[in-house]
């Protein structure tokens, strides 16, 4: 599968762009475990053209994470074009446009998935950005605004006509936010549309390697993007890749090995930010990690883990978790 001239191999797996999640440290970790392409956190075009410091920091990428896509969002043509040129100067492999973010502070202002209520403006922005840069431009969007306006099959053709190099579709409408189940049937319809020739990337509710293979086979997508299932589990890419290559589940990774990965993630987060902000940043991953599910009487330890304010305090709790898990295993 290729996006522009970038060869991503057969059945590639991507790390989804996620705000406050896919910083450079986490992208590198997912790349280490087999992600074929990673995406930055989304970047506000309005903030970027004003060179807001926190926003320009998101332009930092490194060669070890390539191929890497940088994602922007906005609701007006001129700042989106200007932002696209700034992003291109940062030298990502791909520029992605976010027309899918459903959160109120983005979609409620007409950007992200809000553009699904103004298709002509969405197409105008897309065409202008494609014409403004020399790197491949891709789009990520949803099925439609709500259940009465699932426009993605026609919209995909229109976006392709604007010159995009690939399209990622999340299998929900904006009104669904992240509730219910992702519906991949329309993603499959887009892929099977004989008019479509660009790669189609499926996204939504991917949590297991078996599901990845099933969705590749059933819907025929060119690539699959994994989002929330990576929280506290960046090794999911290792599990998926092994299953796609062998048809067998990866031999179980040890609890200690997984804890060491989380420890590495904490260290990277602290090194990138500082101790206080780094620990706050990584709490989302610790809270969502499936690693701690099923541990008996874990509630108090979990609360302490998510309240820890220093590396030493957090790692002391990690050691306690490892010791208690080892004792529980020994008693079985």
State pLDDT tens for residues 89-135.
Answer: 999 999 999 999 999 999 989 999 999 999 999 999 999 999 999 99
Tens digit of each residue's pLDDT (9 = 90 or more) over 214-241: 999 999 999 999 999 999 899 999 999 9
> 264 and 241: one domain?
no
Do 241 and 259 lie in a common domain?
A: no
Does 192 share its domain with 323? no
Could you confirm whether 101 is annotated as catalytic?
A: yes
Residues 30, 62, 101, 162: which is the catalytic one?
101
Predicted pLDDT of residue 330? 52
**Total domain count, the chain:** 2
pLDDT-derived band at 296 (thresholds 50, 70, 90) equals confident
pLDDT tens for each residue of 178-199: 898 999 999 999 999 999 999 9
Q: Same domain for 179 and 30?
A: yes
Domain enclosing residue 319, as ranges: 255-331
For residue 180, CA distances in Å to 16, 151, 169, 171, 188 come to 19, 19, 16, 10, 19
User: In this predicted structure, what is the pLDDT of residue 324?
Assistant: 82
Cα distance between residue 265 and residue 229, in whole Å: 16
Residue 290 has pLDDT above 80, yes or no: yes
Q: Number of C-alpha atoms within 13 angstroms, CB side, residue 65?
A: 24
Q: Are 191 and 292 part of one and the same domain?
A: no
204: CATH? 3.20.20.70
- Residue 17 DSSP symbol: P
Average pLDDT of the chain to the nearest whole number = 94
Same domain, 260 and 308: yes
Note the pLDDT of residue 327: 64
> What pLDDT, on a 0 to 100 scale, did the predictor assign at position 70?
98
| This prediction's pTM | 0.93
| pLDDT-based confidence at residue 331 (cuts at 50, 70, 90) | low
CA 128/CA 130 separation, integer angstroms: 6
- Which tens digits make up the pLDDT trace of 80-96? 999 999 999 999 999 99
- Both 55 and 122 in one domain: the answer is yes
Rounded Cα–Cα distance for residues 44 and 282 (Å):
22
- Mean pLDDT is lowest, of 211-225, 295-309, 318-332, for 318-332
Same domain, 231 and 295: no
Q: Look at residue 30 and give its three-state secondary structure.
A: helix
Residues 273 and 240 in one domain: no
Where among 201, 226, 246 does a domain terminate? 246
Nearest CA among 291, 262, 259 for reference residue 279: 262
Q: Which of 189, 194, 119 is nearest to 159 (CA)?
A: 119
Per-residue pLDDT, 325: 81
Residue 240 shares a structural domain with residue 283: no
C-alpha to C-alpha distance for 265 and 272, rounded to whole angstroms: 11
Q: Based on the fold, state whether residues 192 and 288 are members of the same structural domain.
A: no
Same domain, 192 and 263: no
85-89, 99-103, 294-298, 308-312: range with lowest mean pLDDT: 294-298
Q: How far apart are CA 67 and CA 65, in angstroms?
A: 6
Instruction: For the chain, give the percent of residues with pLDDT over 90.
Output: 87
Q: Indicate the residue among 208, 223, 246 that finishes a domain.
A: 246
pLDDT band at residue 295, thresholds of 50, 70 and 90?
confident
Q: Looking at 199, 224, 246, which one is the last position of a domain? A: 246
């Amino acid at each position: 599968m290729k996006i522009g001239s970038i060869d991503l191999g057969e059945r590639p797996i991507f790390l989804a762009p996620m705000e406050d999640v896919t910083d450079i440290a986490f992208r590198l970790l997912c790349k280490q475990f087999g992600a074929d392409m990673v995406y930055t956190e989304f970047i506000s075009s309005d903030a970027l053209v004003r060179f807001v410091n926190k926003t320009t920091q998101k332009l930092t990428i490194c060669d070890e994470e390539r191929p890497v896509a940088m994602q922007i969002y906005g609701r007006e043509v001129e700042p989106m074009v200007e932002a696209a040129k700034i992003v291109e100067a940062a030298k990502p492999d791909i520029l992605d446009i976010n027309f899918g973010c459903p959160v109120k502070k983005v979609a409620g202002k007409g950007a992200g998935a809000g553009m699904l209520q103004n298709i002509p403006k969405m197409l105008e922005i897309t065409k202008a950005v494609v014409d403004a840069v020399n790197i491949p431009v891709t789009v990520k969007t949803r099925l439609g605004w709500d259940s009465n306006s699932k426009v993605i099959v026609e919209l995909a053709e229109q976006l392709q006509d604007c010159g995009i190099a690939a399209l990622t579709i999340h299998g929900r409408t904006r009104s669904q936010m992240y509730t219910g189940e992702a519906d991949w049937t329309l993603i499959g319809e887009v892929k099977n549309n004989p008019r479509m020739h660009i790669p189609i990337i499926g996204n939504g509710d991917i949590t297991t390697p078996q599901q990845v293979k099933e969705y590749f086979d059933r819907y025929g997508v060119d690539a699959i993007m994994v989002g929330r299932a990576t929280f506290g589990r960046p090794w999911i890419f290792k599990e998926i890749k092994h299953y796609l290559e062998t048809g067998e589940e990866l031999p179980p990774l040890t609890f200690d090995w997984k804890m060491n990965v989380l420890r590495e993630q904490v260290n990277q987060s602290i090194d990138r930010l500082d101790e206080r902000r780094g620990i706050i940043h990584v709490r989302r991953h610790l809270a969502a990690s499936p690693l701690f599910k099923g541990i008996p009487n874990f509630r108090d330890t979990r609360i302490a883990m998510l309240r820890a304010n220093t590396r030493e305090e957090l790692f002391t709790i990690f050691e306690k978790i490892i010791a208690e898990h080892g004792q529980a295993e020994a008693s079985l």
